[in-house]
Structure 1
Amino acid sequence: MSPEARRERVFHALEGIYSRDGLDGITMVAIAAEAKMSKRTLYGLFSDRDQLVHEYMQWVRADFVRPLSDREKEYPLRTRLVRLLAPSEDERGGLPLALLRQVIVKPPQPVDCVYGRIQQHLETNRELVQAELDRAVERGEVKIENTREAALLLETMVRPSILEPLVGIESFPSAAELRRRFDFGLAVFLQGIGAVEEAPH
């Protein structure tokens, strides 16, 4: 089995443990047992639980923003933004939210390191969106004076508020509701910036 396949097995094990035992059940011993591998193999992939959780969050980030291939970068703006930002059909459950809530409610030590990692994820996402808006301006697809501000606005329009699930309200939208919001938000954004609307792919 390749190292990448092993890592995915560990991430799925992490989600399984959380759904059954909550955050308190997430230990390296439990993860190794759930992933059906030795602790030595697990520690060969991740130096400790913090690194494992950090890399899990990077893996989950692909559900929210997916970098485009060189071929995809040639598509029209609407198609590029859909490929980059459309919500995933995968149901991740509550583990990513539980981890974010843990950082906010009971920050582990050192706090700066954890917040820095979350900020790094957010900034990477915004840079990818801004890069596509910059590409659209360069190609004459749209006229945007400040692509950074436009990227932040787009992110707000196509994503649900994270505040409610973080403070404990469990009514997070379904995959279908997320997709409806995304499609509507993207259509309003593209109309607002004067982009030529192309047929959805």
Structure 2
Amino acid sequence: MGKETVNRKSRRGRPVQIAPERREAMVLDAVAVLLCDHPLDAISMADVAAHVSMSKRTLYAMFPSREAMLLAALARMVEQVFRPLTAEESELPLESRLRRLLTVNKMPGLERNSIELLRAVVAGQKQFPELARRVHRAGWYPMVGLLRQELCRAVARGEIAKGDVPAQQAAELLLDMTFEDVLPHLLDPGADMLGPEQRAQRRDLALGVFLRGISGIDATG
């Protein structure tokens, strides 16, 4: 009886096996939560390990360094700021499709500390160039690609005339028109960022100016 009781306790005490993908997602989620209240350079492997009830050894088995962990977390957060259109949304009129693509999804960690995070990435780009490079590529390049895809779709559907303006350049222009320049905010900590309503107004203004000003697009460019 005693041996059976010990065996039962042993079975109950075994740690639950978590799939590697799920374990990594838990770690990256923890980093995102910590970034809501802590600067980037203040987050340690020990902090994250404590947050997810894992050992630092487990974290290092997933990520070779603290920088690699932060890189993965930031890239994942940036990738979630924008999302592709659903099949249903892809049937909307062009202006509605572009408006949906250019609408920022709410990300608590980025919403509150976006400029502080960007300052930290820029400040550390010499020491950790891959961190800055991947954060940039995770946000800007995919977004331009999504906009270019919709502009080419619009040409194919006859929503925009064929013309000489390369679709790639048009997509980059629309993205630049939609979002405010962050440089003043990087240089001046006291500068106020646009709020959600102001960002939406700027987005709609940019869309109106762009769609009324573009005469034709070269879908091959």
Normalised by the length of structure 2, the TM-score is 0.71
In 2, the alpha carbon distance for the partners of 1:86 and 1:129 equals 12
**Equivalent runs, 1:1-201 vs 2, <5 Å:** 6-7=23-24, 9-91=26-108, 92-111=110-129, 113-121=130-138, 122-143=140-161, 144=163, 145-170=165-190, 171-193=192-214
Unaligned runs of 5+ in 2: 1-17, 217-221
Unaligned runs of 5+ in 1: 196-201
Change (3 A) 1:61 1:15: closer
1:199 maps to which residue? none
Question: Structure 1: which amino acid aligns with 2:94?
Answer: L
In 2, the alpha carbon distance for the partners of 1:187 and 1:2 equals 47
In 2, the alpha carbon distance for the partners of 1:21 and 1:90 equals 15
Q: Percent identity?
A: 32
Aligned-pair CA distance for 1:133: 0.9
Question: Structure 2: which amino acid aligns with 1:137?
Answer: V
The CA RMSD over aligned residues, in Å, is 2.9
Largest Rg, 1 or 2:
2
Aligned-pair CA distance for 1:66: 1.2
Question: Structure 1: which amino acid aligns with 2:104?
Answer: P
In 2, the alpha carbon distance for the partners of 1:22 and 1:136 equals 42
How many residue pairs match? The answer is: 194
Change (3 A) 1:86 1:106: same
Question: Structure 2: which amino acid aligns with 1:162?
Answer: V
2:12 maps to which residue? none
Aligned-pair CA distance for 1:184: 2.0
Contact 1:97 1:166 in 2 (8 A): yes
Change (3 A) 1:105 1:186: same
Aligned-pair CA distance for 1:96: 4.0
